[in-house]
């Protein structure tokens, strides 16, 4: 189980996370929404240990990771994969080499074993036979698929998705959402996705959480979440997540 307790973080002297209490249900897809600049990506980076909280704790199955360093932290990270907004592919490598990279670098796998697993994952994301291409030769949607294949190839227990449909047209965004949900249900990993795709995320998520003014304002299954009595959340949902919620009052 992935759990954050009282997590606070300041960046550039400004408060971003102001006491996050959040438990991510295992084996489910949880989507985090909120206005731009609320710190949704910062929250994801705390989950995987790329950032450490100023206060609070991050737990992964009973291990408090927020103070771990070096080898101990890397061992925990082996359980994770992360798909960034731009897929974060290496331009100088082919798609096959990009997907194979973590197998070779982290697991020291070689030869036919690498080829078999990479080809399998490329086929699962609809890129069978495309391994020879370079990222520059792919459409935006295909790059997202290659990034997902690289995330899946390590067979992680937890995958974090940072706005995976950014920059895609609605049809392509839907195809990526469908791919994420189908692979999550097939392999049963725990998924946490940051997204601005409202109302689409209500049809694919097991749980929805909203980050507002540095805290989790609400978390529930989609149907229950949409029945919230919070007028700001209701308005945010009704305009498709494009409104700017009132800024948090300055700390005194």
Of 78, 210, 243, nearest in space to 151 by CA? 78
Do 60 and 129 sit in the same domain of this protein?
A: no
Q: Is 60 exceeded by the pLDDT of residue 28?
A: yes
For 67-91, the pLDDT digits (tens) are: 899 999 999 999 999 998 767 899 9
Work out the average pLDDT over 215-231.
95
Query: 247 vs 19, which has greater pLDDT?
Result: 19
Do 95 and 72 sit in the same domain of this protein?
A: no
Do 55 and 4 sit in the same domain of this protein?
A: yes
Q: Is residue 168 part of a domain?
A: no
Instruction: Tell me whether residue 36 is exposed, middle or buried, using C-beta atoms within 10 angstroms of its C-beta: 0 to 12, 13 to 18, 19 or more.
Output: exposed
Vertex 162: Cα angle to 76 and 43 (nearest 5): 60
The torsion angles phi and psi of 229, rounded to 5 degrees, stand at: -90, -5
Of 181, 89, 179, 173, nearest in space to 135 by CA? 89
Average pLDDT, the chain: 91
Residue 126, pLDDT score: 93
**Secondary structure letter of residue 137 according to DSSP:** G
Q: Give the H or E element holding residue 191.
A: strand 190-194
Q: Is 70 exceeded by the pLDDT of residue 251?
A: no
Work out the average pLDDT over 189-194.
97
Residue 67, pLDDT score: 85
Do 69 and 179 sit in the same domain of this protein?
A: yes
- Helix/strand/coil for 224: helix
Do 179 and 74 sit in the same domain of this protein?
A: yes
pTM, rounded to two decimals: 0.89
- Cα separation, 69 vs 180, in Å, equals 31
Q: Is 90 exceeded by the pLDDT of residue 106?
A: no
What's the Rg (C-alpha) of the chain? 18
Domain termination residue (choose one: 123, 155, 187):
155
Of 48, 49, 42, 50, nearest in space to 18 by CA? 42
CATH code (residue 183)? 3.40.50.300
Band (pLDDT 50/70/90 cuts) for residue 246 is: very low
Q: Is residue 85 part of a domain?
A: yes
Do 73 and 86 sit in the same domain of this protein?
A: no
Do 27 and 90 sit in the same domain of this protein?
A: no
Domain total for the chain?
Answer: 2
Range of the domain at 231: 1-79+174-245
């Amino acid at each position: 189980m992935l759990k954050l307790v009282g997590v606070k973080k300041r960046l550039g002297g400004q408060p971003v996370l102001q006491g996050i209490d959040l438990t991510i249900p295992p084996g489910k897809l949880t989507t985090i929404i909120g206005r731009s600049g609320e710190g949704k990506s910062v929250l994801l980076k705390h989950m995987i240990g790329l950032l450490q909280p100023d206060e609070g704790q991050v737990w992964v199955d009973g291990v408090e990771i927020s103070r771990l360093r070096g080898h101990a932290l890397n061992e925990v990270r082996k359980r994770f994969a992360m798909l960034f907004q731009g897929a974060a592919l290496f331009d100088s490598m082919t798609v096959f080499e990009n997907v194979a990279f973590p197998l070779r670098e982290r697991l020291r796998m070689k030869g036919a074993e690498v080829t078999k697993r990479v080809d399998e994952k490329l086929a699962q994301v609809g890129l069978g036979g495309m391994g020879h291409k370079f990222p520059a030769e792919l459409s935006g949607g295909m790059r997202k698929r290659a990034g997902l294949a690289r995330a899946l190839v390590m067979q992680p227990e937890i995958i974090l998705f940072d706005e995976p449909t950014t920059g895609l047209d609605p049809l392509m965004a839907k195809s990526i959402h469908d791919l994420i949900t189908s692979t999550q249900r097939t392999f049963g990993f725990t998924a946490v996705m940051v997204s601005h795709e409202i109302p689409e995320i209500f049809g694919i998520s097991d749980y929805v959480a909203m980050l507002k003014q540095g805290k989790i304002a609400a978390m529930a299954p989609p149907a229950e979440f949409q029945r919230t009595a919070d007028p700001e959340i209701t308005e945010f949902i009704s305009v498709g997540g494009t409104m700017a919620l009132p800024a948090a009052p300055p700390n005194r």
